Amino acid sequence: MSLFSIGELARRADVAIDTVRYYERRQLLPQPKRRASGYRQYDDEDVRRLRFIRRAKGLGFALEDIRSLLDLSLDHDHGVHGLRARAEAKLADIDARIAQLQKVRRGLRQLVADCPGSGALDHCPILAALGAKESS
């Protein structure tokens, strides 16, 4: 097993050193062993865990969700079910957000199409729509 510094850990996991320290403070990474000199000492498992965190963040998981995923990744009896359930919930959340963004896009596209791009501000359909009373 190879041991290396925080800088090498950060390089291997493709994150900043401050990110490593942040995840340690948030207890997503275990407190590292220390050399006699007091310097932090990491191993390949720390690289794997840090990559897991980075990839999960890239998929939209919040840090608390990632903590839960990490816990489930250690549960050899029930972890797969829990991991799938969390991934399905995240997928449903993303689908809902995409649908909402598509609705916003359609509305904004219509406002842009309706706006002549010149003339008096008091006749601007974008300002009128943004300042209008919301319908229930």
Q: Are residues 83 and 136 in the same domain?
A: yes
Is residue 8, in this structure, part of any structural domain at all? yes
Is residue 131, in this structure, part of any structural domain at all? yes
State how many domains the chain has.
2
Which pLDDT does position 135 carry in this prediction? Answer: 63
Predicted confidence (pLDDT) per residue in 85-129, tens digit = 888 999 999 999 999 999 999 999 999 998 888 888 888 888 888
When the pLDDT of each residue in the chain is averaged and rounded to a whole number, the result is: 90
Is residue 104, in this structure, part of any structural domain at all? yes
Q: Name the amino acid, one letter, at 24.
A: E
34 lies in which domain range? Answer: 1-59
Task: Look up the pTM and report it.
Answer: 0.71
Dist. CA 29–CA 92, nearest whole Å: 28
Dist. CA 119–CA 135, nearest whole Å: 27
CATH code for the domain of 15:
1.10.1660.10
Ramachandran category for residue 61: left, alpha or beta (phi over 0 → left; psi -120 to 50 → alpha): beta
More confident residue, 67 or 130: 67
Q: Which residue's entry shows tokens 């649908």? A: 99
> How much helix, strand and coil, in percent to the nearest 5, is found in the chain?
65, 5, 30
Q: Are residues 30 and 84 in the same domain?
A: no
